Structure 1
Amino acid sequence: MRGDRRLTVRLIANELGMNWDSIWKIITEDLGMRKVCTKMMPKLLNDDQKDRCMQVCQDILEHLETEPDLLRRVITCDESWIFEYDPETKRKSLQWKSLMLPRSKKARQSKSKVKVMLIAFFDVRGIVHTEFLPRARRLTSTPTKRSCSCPEHPTAPGREEHRLMEQPPYSPDLAPCDFFLFPKLKGVIKGTCFEDVEDIKMAVTTELWRIPEESFQECMEAWQRRMGKCVRL
Protein backbone atom coordinates (compact mmCIF):
# COMPACT_ATOMS: atom_id res chain seq x y z
CA MET A 1 0.00 0.00 0.00
CA ARG A 2 2.93 2.34 0.56
CA GLY A 3 3.87 1.96 -3.09
CA ASP A 4 0.38 2.67 -4.40
CA ARG A 5 -1.83 4.65 -2.04
CA ARG A 6 -4.75 4.48 -4.46
CA LEU A 7 -5.33 0.78 -3.83
CA THR A 8 -8.85 -0.08 -2.75
CA VAL A 9 -9.63 -2.09 0.36
CA ARG A 10 -11.10 -4.84 -1.84
CA LEU A 11 -7.91 -5.15 -3.92
CA ILE A 12 -5.77 -5.37 -0.77
CA ALA A 13 -8.10 -8.01 0.69
CA ASN A 14 -7.93 -10.09 -2.49
CA GLU A 15 -4.14 -9.80 -2.65
CA LEU A 16 -3.68 -10.91 0.97
CA GLY A 17 -6.50 -13.46 0.99
CA MET A 18 -8.26 -11.73 3.89
CA ASN A 19 -11.83 -10.51 4.27
CA TRP A 20 -12.82 -6.88 3.59
CA ASP A 21 -13.82 -6.09 7.19
CA SER A 22 -10.45 -7.18 8.61
CA ILE A 23 -8.50 -5.06 6.11
CA TRP A 24 -10.75 -2.05 6.78
CA LYS A 25 -10.22 -2.39 10.55
CA ILE A 26 -6.44 -2.66 10.18
CA ILE A 27 -6.22 0.38 7.92
CA THR A 28 -8.62 2.69 9.76
CA GLU A 29 -8.27 1.60 13.39
CA ASP A 30 -4.81 0.06 13.76
CA LEU A 31 -2.95 2.29 11.28
CA GLY A 32 -5.20 5.32 11.75
CA MET A 33 -5.37 6.00 8.02
CA ARG A 34 -8.20 7.34 5.88
CA LYS A 35 -8.62 7.84 2.16
CA VAL A 36 -8.87 11.45 1.02
CA CYS A 37 -9.03 13.22 -2.31
CA THR A 38 -6.03 15.10 -3.65
CA LYS A 39 -6.23 18.78 -2.73
CA MET A 40 -6.49 20.81 -5.94
CA MET A 41 -4.29 23.92 -6.03
CA PRO A 42 -4.35 26.80 -8.55
CA LYS A 43 -0.63 26.25 -9.05
CA LEU A 44 2.13 24.13 -7.53
CA LEU A 45 4.66 26.68 -6.30
CA ASN A 46 8.36 26.28 -6.97
CA ASP A 47 10.97 27.13 -4.33
CA ASP A 48 11.40 30.72 -5.51
CA GLN A 49 7.66 31.34 -5.39
CA LYS A 50 7.43 29.81 -1.92
CA ASP A 51 10.28 32.06 -0.74
CA ARG A 52 8.46 35.05 -2.26
CA CYS A 53 5.26 34.14 -0.40
CA MET A 54 7.16 33.89 2.87
CA GLN A 55 8.92 37.22 2.27
CA VAL A 56 5.67 39.05 1.46
CA CYS A 57 4.02 37.63 4.59
CA GLN A 58 7.02 38.62 6.72
CA ASP A 59 6.91 42.17 5.36
CA ILE A 60 3.19 42.56 6.11
CA LEU A 61 3.56 41.06 9.60
CA GLU A 62 6.40 43.49 10.35
CA HIS A 63 4.13 46.37 9.32
CA LEU A 64 1.47 45.02 11.67
CA GLU A 65 3.96 44.93 14.55
CA THR A 66 5.01 48.55 14.06
CA GLU A 67 1.46 49.77 13.32
CA PRO A 68 -0.99 47.98 15.65
CA ASP A 69 -4.02 49.62 14.02
CA LEU A 70 -2.99 48.69 10.48
CA LEU A 71 -5.59 45.92 10.08
CA ARG A 72 -8.32 48.46 10.68
CA ARG A 73 -7.05 50.58 7.78
CA VAL A 74 -6.56 47.88 5.18
CA ILE A 75 -8.85 47.72 2.15
CA THR A 76 -8.52 44.60 0.05
CA CYS A 77 -10.13 43.74 -3.28
CA ASP A 78 -10.36 41.07 -5.94
CA GLU A 79 -12.57 39.84 -8.78
CA SER A 80 -14.61 36.71 -9.40
CA TRP A 81 -17.09 35.41 -11.98
CA ILE A 82 -20.70 35.03 -10.85
CA PHE A 83 -22.78 32.65 -12.97
CA GLU A 84 -26.45 32.77 -13.89
CA TYR A 85 -26.54 29.18 -12.66
CA ASP A 86 -23.80 27.48 -10.66
CA PRO A 87 -24.90 23.97 -9.60
CA GLU A 88 -24.71 23.08 -5.94
CA THR A 89 -21.86 20.86 -4.81
CA LYS A 90 -22.33 17.18 -4.00
CA ARG A 91 -21.68 17.92 -0.32
CA LYS A 92 -24.28 20.67 -0.28
CA SER A 93 -26.90 18.23 -1.59
CA LEU A 94 -26.43 15.80 1.33
CA GLN A 95 -29.71 14.86 3.01
CA TRP A 96 -30.88 12.45 5.69
CA LYS A 97 -32.81 9.34 4.65
CA SER A 98 -34.04 6.19 6.33
CA LEU A 99 -32.66 2.78 5.42
CA MET A 100 -35.90 1.90 3.62
CA LEU A 101 -35.89 4.88 1.26
CA PRO A 102 -33.83 4.87 -1.95
CA ARG A 103 -31.06 7.42 -2.42
CA SER A 104 -32.23 10.52 -4.28
CA LYS A 105 -30.88 11.04 -7.80
CA LYS A 106 -29.89 14.17 -9.64
CA ALA A 107 -28.72 14.71 -13.21
CA ARG A 108 -25.22 16.13 -13.66
CA GLN A 109 -25.39 19.84 -14.44
CA SER A 110 -22.83 22.42 -15.51
CA LYS A 111 -22.38 26.15 -15.02
CA SER A 112 -24.27 28.44 -17.35
CA LYS A 113 -22.46 30.48 -19.98
CA VAL A 114 -24.17 33.67 -18.79
CA LYS A 115 -21.96 35.30 -16.16
CA VAL A 116 -20.85 38.66 -14.80
CA MET A 117 -17.56 39.77 -13.26
CA LEU A 118 -17.81 41.01 -9.67
CA ILE A 119 -15.18 43.32 -8.18
CA ALA A 120 -15.47 43.69 -4.41
CA PHE A 121 -13.61 45.95 -1.98
CA PHE A 122 -13.89 45.48 1.78
CA ASP A 123 -12.19 46.31 5.06
CA VAL A 124 -12.55 45.24 8.68
CA ARG A 125 -15.94 46.98 8.94
CA GLY A 126 -17.53 45.51 5.84
CA ILE A 127 -18.10 46.10 2.13
CA VAL A 128 -16.58 49.34 0.88
CA HIS A 129 -17.47 49.17 -2.81
CA THR A 130 -18.71 46.68 -5.41
CA GLU A 131 -18.72 46.89 -9.17
CA PHE A 132 -19.83 44.64 -12.00
CA LEU A 133 -17.86 44.61 -15.25
CA PRO A 134 -19.03 43.70 -18.74
CA ARG A 135 -18.06 40.18 -19.77
CA ALA A 136 -15.28 41.38 -22.07
CA ARG A 137 -13.45 43.30 -19.35
CA ARG A 138 -11.39 42.13 -16.42
CA LEU A 139 -9.44 43.68 -13.57
CA THR A 140 -6.08 42.07 -14.41
CA SER A 141 -4.64 45.27 -15.88
CA THR A 142 -5.40 47.22 -12.70
CA PRO A 143 -2.39 47.63 -10.36
CA THR A 144 -4.54 47.15 -7.24
CA LYS A 145 -5.36 43.55 -8.24
CA ARG A 146 -4.92 41.33 -5.18
CA SER A 147 -3.43 44.19 -3.21
CA CYS A 148 -4.21 45.98 0.01
CA SER A 149 -4.41 49.75 0.14
CA CYS A 150 -3.61 51.38 3.46
CA PRO A 151 -4.04 55.10 4.20
CA GLU A 152 -1.05 56.76 5.78
CA HIS A 153 -1.04 59.95 7.82
CA PRO A 154 -2.57 62.81 5.82
CA THR A 155 0.00 65.19 4.36
CA ALA A 156 -2.53 68.02 4.07
CA PRO A 157 -6.06 68.70 5.29
CA GLY A 158 -8.55 66.61 3.38
CA ARG A 159 -5.84 64.54 1.66
CA GLU A 160 -4.51 61.07 2.40
CA GLU A 161 -1.70 59.13 0.80
CA HIS A 162 -2.13 55.41 0.21
CA ARG A 163 0.36 52.62 -0.27
CA LEU A 164 -0.07 49.20 -1.81
CA MET A 165 0.70 46.05 0.13
CA GLU A 166 1.61 43.15 -2.12
CA GLN A 167 -0.26 39.87 -1.75
CA PRO A 168 1.61 36.53 -2.14
CA PRO A 169 1.18 35.25 -5.73
CA TYR A 170 -0.82 32.09 -6.50
CA SER A 171 -1.91 31.82 -2.85
CA PRO A 172 -5.71 31.96 -2.45
CA ASP A 173 -5.28 30.75 1.13
CA LEU A 174 -3.56 34.08 1.86
CA ALA A 175 -5.99 36.34 -0.02
CA PRO A 176 -8.98 37.50 2.12
CA CYS A 177 -11.35 37.57 -0.87
CA ASP A 178 -10.44 34.00 -1.82
CA PHE A 179 -10.57 32.34 1.59
CA PHE A 180 -13.42 34.40 3.02
CA LEU A 181 -15.58 36.69 0.89
CA PHE A 182 -16.16 34.78 -2.35
CA PRO A 183 -16.68 31.35 -0.71
CA LYS A 184 -19.12 32.92 1.76
CA LEU A 185 -21.06 34.63 -1.03
CA LYS A 186 -21.10 31.70 -3.45
CA GLY A 187 -22.03 29.22 -0.74
CA VAL A 188 -25.32 31.09 -0.37
CA ILE A 189 -26.21 31.62 -4.04
CA LYS A 190 -24.91 28.27 -5.34
CA GLY A 191 -27.72 26.24 -6.87
CA THR A 192 -29.85 29.33 -7.56
CA CYS A 193 -31.03 29.87 -11.13
CA PHE A 194 -31.18 33.60 -11.82
CA GLU A 195 -33.42 35.16 -14.46
CA ASP A 196 -30.78 37.41 -16.01
CA VAL A 197 -27.62 39.41 -15.29
CA GLU A 198 -29.52 42.15 -13.47
CA ASP A 199 -31.03 39.51 -11.20
CA ILE A 200 -27.52 38.22 -10.46
CA LYS A 201 -26.30 41.70 -9.55
CA MET A 202 -29.23 42.37 -7.22
CA ALA A 203 -28.87 39.04 -5.40
CA VAL A 204 -25.09 39.34 -5.05
CA THR A 205 -25.30 42.90 -3.73
CA THR A 206 -27.98 41.91 -1.21
CA GLU A 207 -26.00 38.93 0.09
CA LEU A 208 -22.76 40.90 0.37
CA TRP A 209 -24.39 43.57 2.52
CA ARG A 210 -25.95 40.88 4.74
CA ILE A 211 -22.54 39.71 5.95
CA PRO A 212 -22.16 41.00 9.54
CA GLU A 213 -19.29 43.24 10.58
CA GLU A 214 -18.04 40.60 12.99
CA SER A 215 -17.33 38.27 10.07
CA PHE A 216 -15.08 40.85 8.41
CA GLN A 217 -13.21 41.36 11.69
CA GLU A 218 -12.69 37.60 12.02
CA CYS A 219 -11.49 37.49 8.39
CA MET A 220 -8.75 40.06 9.04
CA GLU A 221 -7.65 38.23 12.17
CA ALA A 222 -7.59 34.96 10.23
CA TRP A 223 -5.55 36.64 7.49
CA GLN A 224 -2.90 37.59 10.06
CA ARG A 225 -2.83 34.04 11.48
CA ARG A 226 -2.52 32.53 7.99
CA MET A 227 0.45 34.74 7.16
CA GLY A 228 2.10 33.76 10.42
CA LYS A 229 1.54 30.08 9.62
CA CYS A 230 3.04 30.58 6.15
CA VAL A 231 6.21 32.04 7.68
CA ARG A 232 6.49 29.28 10.29
CA LEU A 233 6.10 26.51 7.73
Structure 2
Amino acid sequence: MGHVGRWSARMLRSLGITLRAQGTVHSGPVLIVANHISWVDILAINAIHPARFVSKADVKHWPFIGYPVASGGTLFIERERKRDALRVVHQIAEALKGGDIVAVFPEGTTSDGHGVLPFHANLLQAAIATEAPVQPLVLRYRDAHSAVSAAPAYVGDTSLVASLWATVTADKLVADVRVENAQGARHADRRALAEHLREIIVGRLNEGRA
Protein backbone atom coordinates (compact mmCIF):
# COMPACT_ATOMS: atom_id res chain seq x y z
CA MET A 1 0.00 0.00 0.00
CA GLY A 2 2.90 2.37 0.70
CA HIS A 3 3.30 4.97 3.40
CA VAL A 4 0.69 7.34 1.94
CA GLY A 5 -1.91 4.56 1.89
CA ARG A 6 -1.15 3.49 5.45
CA TRP A 7 -1.15 7.08 6.68
CA SER A 8 -4.50 7.77 4.97
CA ALA A 9 -6.05 4.68 6.56
CA ARG A 10 -4.82 5.80 9.98
CA MET A 11 -6.25 9.28 9.45
CA LEU A 12 -9.66 7.83 8.57
CA ARG A 13 -9.62 5.82 11.78
CA SER A 14 -8.55 8.86 13.81
CA LEU A 15 -11.49 10.80 12.36
CA GLY A 16 -13.84 8.01 13.41
CA ILE A 17 -14.56 6.93 9.84
CA THR A 18 -14.98 3.29 8.90
CA LEU A 19 -13.88 2.47 5.35
CA ARG A 20 -15.92 -0.04 3.35
CA ALA A 21 -14.46 -0.79 -0.07
CA GLN A 22 -15.53 -2.93 -3.01
CA GLY A 23 -13.65 -3.59 -6.21
CA THR A 24 -10.01 -3.28 -7.16
CA VAL A 25 -8.10 -0.40 -8.70
CA HIS A 26 -6.65 -1.34 -12.08
CA SER A 27 -2.87 -1.57 -12.13
CA GLY A 28 -1.39 1.54 -13.69
CA PRO A 29 -1.56 3.31 -15.93
CA VAL A 30 -5.17 4.22 -15.20
CA LEU A 31 -7.21 7.38 -14.75
CA ILE A 32 -9.59 7.12 -11.78
CA VAL A 33 -12.73 9.23 -12.17
CA ALA A 34 -14.73 9.83 -8.99
CA ASN A 35 -17.63 11.88 -7.71
CA HIS A 36 -16.57 14.54 -5.21
CA ILE A 37 -18.18 15.21 -1.82
CA SER A 38 -15.50 16.07 0.69
CA TRP A 39 -11.84 16.56 1.51
CA VAL A 40 -12.21 13.08 3.03
CA ASP A 41 -12.44 11.67 -0.51
CA ILE A 42 -8.67 11.89 -0.97
CA LEU A 43 -8.04 9.93 2.24
CA ALA A 44 -10.60 7.28 1.27
CA ILE A 45 -9.18 6.73 -2.22
CA ASN A 46 -5.57 6.75 -1.03
CA ALA A 47 -6.42 4.23 1.70
CA ILE A 48 -7.61 1.83 -1.01
CA HIS A 49 -4.82 2.51 -3.46
CA PRO A 50 -2.55 5.59 -3.46
CA ALA A 51 -2.94 7.76 -6.54
CA ARG A 52 -1.70 11.03 -7.93
CA PHE A 53 -4.52 13.56 -7.63
CA VAL A 54 -5.38 16.64 -9.61
CA SER A 55 -6.14 19.33 -7.04
CA LYS A 56 -6.23 23.06 -6.47
CA ALA A 57 -2.98 24.33 -5.00
CA ASP A 58 -4.20 25.46 -1.56
CA VAL A 59 -5.20 21.90 -0.62
CA LYS A 60 -1.60 21.05 0.27
CA HIS A 61 -1.90 23.32 3.31
CA TRP A 62 -5.09 21.72 4.64
CA PRO A 63 -5.01 19.56 7.80
CA PHE A 64 -5.23 15.78 7.47
CA ILE A 65 -4.98 15.70 3.67
CA GLY A 66 -2.04 18.08 3.28
CA TYR A 67 0.47 15.29 3.85
CA PRO A 68 -0.84 12.79 1.25
CA VAL A 69 -1.32 15.63 -1.22
CA ALA A 70 2.24 16.87 -0.74
CA SER A 71 3.71 13.35 -0.72
CA GLY A 72 1.72 11.76 -3.51
CA GLY A 73 2.92 13.68 -6.56
CA THR A 74 -0.25 15.76 -6.83
CA LEU A 75 -0.78 17.74 -10.03
CA PHE A 76 -1.98 21.21 -9.11
CA ILE A 77 -4.40 23.18 -11.25
CA GLU A 78 -5.24 26.88 -11.09
CA ARG A 79 -8.96 26.84 -11.77
CA GLU A 80 -9.08 30.63 -12.14
CA ARG A 81 -6.97 30.32 -15.29
CA LYS A 82 -9.04 28.78 -18.07
CA ARG A 83 -6.01 27.66 -20.07
CA ASP A 84 -4.36 25.94 -17.09
CA ALA A 85 -6.43 22.81 -17.71
CA LEU A 86 -4.48 22.23 -20.94
CA ARG A 87 -1.18 22.29 -19.04
CA VAL A 88 -2.55 19.79 -16.52
CA VAL A 89 -3.86 17.52 -19.30
CA HIS A 90 -0.28 17.27 -20.60
CA GLN A 91 0.98 16.50 -17.08
CA ILE A 92 -1.63 13.78 -16.60
CA ALA A 93 -0.70 12.29 -19.96
CA GLU A 94 2.97 12.18 -18.98
CA ALA A 95 2.06 10.54 -15.65
CA LEU A 96 -0.03 7.92 -17.43
CA LYS A 97 2.75 7.26 -19.91
CA GLY A 98 4.96 6.62 -16.90
CA GLY A 99 2.55 3.99 -15.60
CA ASP A 100 1.03 6.07 -12.81
CA ILE A 101 -2.45 5.92 -11.30
CA VAL A 102 -4.03 9.38 -11.49
CA ALA A 103 -7.32 10.39 -9.84
CA VAL A 104 -9.56 13.26 -10.92
CA PHE A 105 -12.87 14.73 -9.77
CA PRO A 106 -14.46 15.87 -13.05
CA GLU A 107 -17.33 17.71 -11.34
CA GLY A 108 -14.71 20.36 -10.61
CA THR A 109 -16.20 21.01 -7.17
CA THR A 110 -17.96 19.16 -4.37
CA SER A 111 -21.63 18.17 -4.15
CA ASP A 112 -23.73 17.29 -1.09
CA GLY A 113 -23.68 13.56 -1.83
CA HIS A 114 -27.30 13.38 -2.98
CA GLY A 115 -26.46 13.80 -6.64
CA VAL A 116 -23.62 14.18 -9.12
CA LEU A 117 -22.92 17.43 -10.93
CA PRO A 118 -22.16 17.47 -14.68
CA PHE A 119 -18.69 16.21 -15.55
CA HIS A 120 -16.13 18.45 -17.21
CA ALA A 121 -14.52 16.43 -20.00
CA ASN A 122 -11.20 18.27 -20.48
CA LEU A 123 -8.99 16.17 -18.21
CA LEU A 124 -10.23 12.92 -19.77
CA GLN A 125 -8.35 13.87 -22.93
CA ALA A 126 -5.16 12.68 -21.24
CA ALA A 127 -6.47 9.11 -21.05
CA ILE A 128 -7.75 9.23 -24.62
CA ALA A 129 -4.45 10.55 -25.94
CA THR A 130 -2.40 7.88 -24.15
CA GLU A 131 -5.01 5.11 -24.63
CA ALA A 132 -4.98 4.51 -20.87
CA PRO A 133 -8.12 2.99 -19.31
CA VAL A 134 -10.42 5.07 -17.13
CA GLN A 135 -11.97 3.62 -13.99
CA PRO A 136 -15.12 5.03 -12.34
CA LEU A 137 -15.03 5.17 -8.54
CA VAL A 138 -18.17 5.80 -6.50
CA LEU A 139 -17.99 7.62 -3.15
CA ARG A 140 -20.80 7.64 -0.61
CA TYR A 141 -20.93 8.54 3.10
CA ARG A 142 -23.49 7.24 5.55
CA ASP A 143 -23.94 7.35 9.30
CA ALA A 144 -26.13 5.84 11.99
CA HIS A 145 -28.99 8.19 11.10
CA SER A 146 -28.87 8.62 7.33
CA ALA A 147 -28.05 6.65 4.20
CA VAL A 148 -26.48 9.85 2.83
CA SER A 149 -24.63 11.61 5.62
CA ALA A 150 -24.34 15.38 5.48
CA ALA A 151 -21.45 15.34 7.97
CA PRO A 152 -18.43 15.19 5.62
CA ALA A 153 -19.92 17.28 2.80
CA TYR A 154 -17.70 20.28 2.12
CA VAL A 155 -20.02 22.46 0.07
CA GLY A 156 -21.19 26.04 -0.26
CA ASP A 157 -20.10 28.36 2.53
CA THR A 158 -19.10 25.53 4.87
CA SER A 159 -15.68 26.21 6.35
CA LEU A 160 -13.03 23.52 6.57
CA VAL A 161 -13.13 23.75 10.38
CA ALA A 162 -16.91 23.30 10.43
CA SER A 163 -16.67 20.36 8.03
CA LEU A 164 -13.94 18.77 10.13
CA TRP A 165 -16.00 19.17 13.32
CA ALA A 166 -19.11 17.71 11.69
CA THR A 167 -17.05 14.77 10.47
CA VAL A 168 -15.41 13.87 13.78
CA THR A 169 -18.66 14.24 15.72
CA ALA A 170 -20.78 12.18 13.30
CA ASP A 171 -22.33 8.99 14.69
CA LYS A 172 -20.72 5.89 13.13
CA LEU A 173 -19.65 7.57 9.90
CA VAL A 174 -18.87 5.14 7.08
CA ALA A 175 -17.10 5.88 3.80
CA ASP A 176 -18.39 3.50 1.14
CA VAL A 177 -16.08 3.28 -1.86
CA ARG A 178 -16.94 1.16 -4.87
CA VAL A 179 -14.42 0.75 -7.67
CA GLU A 180 -16.13 -0.09 -10.94
CA ASN A 181 -14.62 -1.91 -13.92
CA ALA A 182 -12.06 -0.02 -15.94
CA GLN A 183 -13.27 1.33 -19.29
CA GLY A 184 -11.28 1.65 -22.49
CA ALA A 185 -10.63 5.20 -23.67
CA ARG A 186 -9.01 4.53 -27.05
CA HIS A 187 -10.55 6.69 -29.81
CA ALA A 188 -13.28 7.87 -27.39
CA ASP A 189 -15.03 11.23 -27.67
CA ARG A 190 -14.20 12.94 -24.40
CA ARG A 191 -17.65 14.42 -23.84
CA ALA A 192 -19.36 11.11 -24.55
CA LEU A 193 -16.87 9.37 -22.28
CA ALA A 194 -17.49 11.89 -19.49
CA GLU A 195 -21.23 11.34 -19.72
CA HIS A 196 -20.82 7.56 -19.79
CA LEU A 197 -18.65 7.60 -16.66
CA ARG A 198 -21.09 9.92 -14.89
CA GLU A 199 -23.98 7.60 -15.77
CA ILE A 200 -22.13 4.66 -14.21
CA ILE A 201 -21.54 6.58 -10.99
CA VAL A 202 -25.07 8.00 -10.81
CA GLY A 203 -26.55 4.58 -11.51
CA ARG A 204 -24.55 2.99 -8.70
CA LEU A 205 -25.53 5.74 -6.26
CA ASN A 206 -29.20 5.39 -7.15
CA GLU A 207 -28.96 1.63 -6.90
CA GLY A 208 -27.63 1.97 -3.36
CA ARG A 209 -30.62 4.07 -2.32
CA ALA A 210 -33.23 1.76 -3.82
Q: TM-score, normalised by structure 2?
A: 0.30
With a CA cutoff of 8 Å and minimum separation of 6, indicate the structure with the bigger relative contact order.
2
Name the larger-Rg structure. Answer: 1
Q: TM-score, normalised by structure 1?
A: 0.28
